[in-house]
Structure 1
Amino acid sequence: MADVVDLIRYPIKGCAGTSMGDALLTPAGLKHDRSFMVISEDGVYRTQRRHPRLALVRPTVSPDGSRPAAWLSEFLGTPSRLVRLPPEHDRIADGVTPGPSGYADSSAVHLLSRSSLTLLNQRIAEQGTPPLPMNRCRPNIVVDGGSGQGRGSDGGDWAAVPHTEDRARRISIGGAELGYAKLAVRCAVTLVDQEAGVRQKREPLSTLASYRRAASGGVVFGAKFSVVRPGKLSVGDEVVVHEWGDAEL
């Protein structure tokens, strides 16, 4: 059993996310998710890895997507431009299920369960460090143990078991369907305090490296999915897993 407990889009790549009660899932992910990007005058994109203050930018998008911030250069202290993904873009992200993606680092949708974060915070607490909020992980869809409706095809409260999302291969939520692409490799953006716009030193990467290091390299947390069938998503929707696979770690 599992339900959607949060839907988050990030209109400008690297900037703050916006939680939504309802969202349209397009072929390239949640509508307007990472459809804008901050770049240098030379065309190099900017992320929180080098510009953690991006976390403090909380963009809003008008219905036609035409209201980006115009003061980024002053705010970041370096000449910057804002670019928009063209409607006719044809970028395809790789993975087990390839699919269209906007300016996201890889596949269109990042899904994470609350139980996975709970386990991470338990391990972080063993190091004497305070727990981290979900926004450090910057997911698009957050799932949790359901109300008795959302159920995997093999039954059971799958979302209550940490990292079970790693094994989900085909998922339906509301009117949409997702196909598993890959595990989500985590980078230094997870070190950035999303409320302060300041990069921290160790967590969560240090702890993740102790138990979530992938055989192919890097540390992983959460799973990436491609959109197989677009549709409307809502908080409270049941999450049904129709096909399972083996964990890749």
Structure 2
Amino acid sequence: MATVVELISYPVKGCAGVPAAEAELTPAGLAHDRTFLVVGPGGVFRSQRTDPRLAVIRPEVGADGTHLTLHAPDRDPFRLDVDLGTGSPARSEVEMFGTPYRAVDQGDGVAGWLSGALGAESRLVRVPPEHGRVTDGLTPGTSGFADSSAVHVLSLASFDDLNHRIAAAGRAPVPMERFRPNVVVGGWDTPQTEDRARRVTVGGGALGFTKLAVRCAVTLVDQRTGGKAGPEPLRTLAAYRRVPEGGVAFGSKFSVLATGKVSVGDAFEVTEWGTD
């Protein structure tokens, strides 16, 4: 039986993940996932693709989302009372992958802290209450500031198979954190089984497949040091996981069909399979 073996959210897009034993599955994914976004001049989002130091910033968000603490090496933590955007119509214009969004700026204090931690002018913004983003794929849904769909699923079978291939080529295996999954699934024998799942029940919630997760240069970043550490895993993935639209795929993306609590140990039950 397939089960959930890890749950990880990423409250600030591009920053360190926060593992949990249980989490609420909301319409936009695990609670608080990619709720915040770091932007540079002109409101353009920052990503580990160009700002790998984001990886060493570790967020802690309160259960109700009203408090956020940021940690970084050699810096005092910064505690923020989050502006949820409910009391003011003021919004900032931000841009992610060329698409404009409206966001709630979190003020000069955290902007100064982030700018110092990253060595580049930065501000922190949050999704506003009216955030109505619609994500694409086989099963449309919504998300905060995730690249696309709300939930990224990766199986241990796929991960172990990849590392076996890397090791067979005489190179060092890569850690799971390079792929920044939300839900890690154990119990399947066959790699890439997540690619065939179309409808899933997990805990009190349900997921619908949207598309394969096409990987980028973020997988080359050492998540513990914030430094580039390529060429793996992209070199090995390129040998067997190329996709027609370009690039390589590893793991799958899902939209949320039903909300509810999800816990490590819950069954990850596929109720509908695809034929691909």
TM-score with structure 2 setting the length: 0.83
Give the whole-Å Cα distance in 2 for the aligned partners of 1:17 and 1:35: 13
Match of 1:154 in 2: none
Match of 1:153 in 2: none
Q: What's the CA shift for 1:67?
A: 1.8
Q: What's the CA shift for 1:88?
A: 1.5
Percentage of matched positions with identical amino acids: 60
**Deviation string, structure 1 residues 145-178 (Cα, Å, up to 9, x no partner):** 1xxxxxxxxxxxxx22100110000000011000
Match of 2:80 in 1: none
Match of 1:246 in 2: 275
Q: What's the CA shift for 1:179?
A: 0.4
Match of 1:164 in 2: 193
1:73 aligns with 2:115: yes
Give the whole-Å Cα distance in 1 for the aligned partners of 2:185 and 2:64: 29
Pick aligned residue for 2:142 from 97, 100, 114: 100
| 1:135-150 equivalence runs, <5 A | 135-145=177-187
- Indicate the SS of the match to 2:275: coil
Give the whole-Å Cα distance in 2 for the aligned partners of 1:68 and 1:185: 31
Q: What's the CA shift for 1:48?
A: 0.5
Match of 2:124 in 1: 82
List 4+ stretches of structure 1 deviating above 4 A: none
- Indicate the SS of the match to 2:49: coil
Amino acid at match of 2:268: V
Runs (5+) with no aligned partner, structure 2: 71-109
Q: What's the CA shift for 1:201?
A: 2.6
Match of 1:48 in 2: 48
- The total of aligned residue pairs comes to 234
Pick aligned residue for 1:180 from 188, 191, 209: 209
- Indicate the SS of the match to 2:201: strand
Amino acid at match of 2:227: V
Give the whole-Å Cα distance in 1 for the aligned partners of 2:245 and 2:54: 30
Give the whole-Å Cα distance in 2 for the aligned partners of 1:61 and 1:114: 27
**Most deviating of 229-238 and 69-78:** 69-78
| 1:91-240 equivalence runs, <5 A | 91-145=133-187, 159-240=188-269
- Higher normalized contact order (CA 8 Å, seq sep 6+, divided by chain length): 1
- Indicate the SS of the match to 2:59: coil
Give the whole-Å Cα distance in 1 for the aligned partners of 2:64 and 2:203: 24
Give the whole-Å Cα distance in 1 for the aligned partners of 2:2 and 2:64: 33
Runs (5+) with no aligned partner, structure 1: 146-158
**Deviation string, structure 1 residues 16-53 (Cα, Å, up to 9, x no partner):** 00110000000010010000010013101001011111
Aligned-residue Cα RMSD (Å) equals 0.9
Match of 1:149 in 2: none
Give the whole-Å Cα distance in 1 for the aligned partners of 2:23 and 2:191: 25
Match of 1:59 in 2: 59
Give the whole-Å Cα distance in 2 for the aligned partners of 1:93 and 1:27: 11
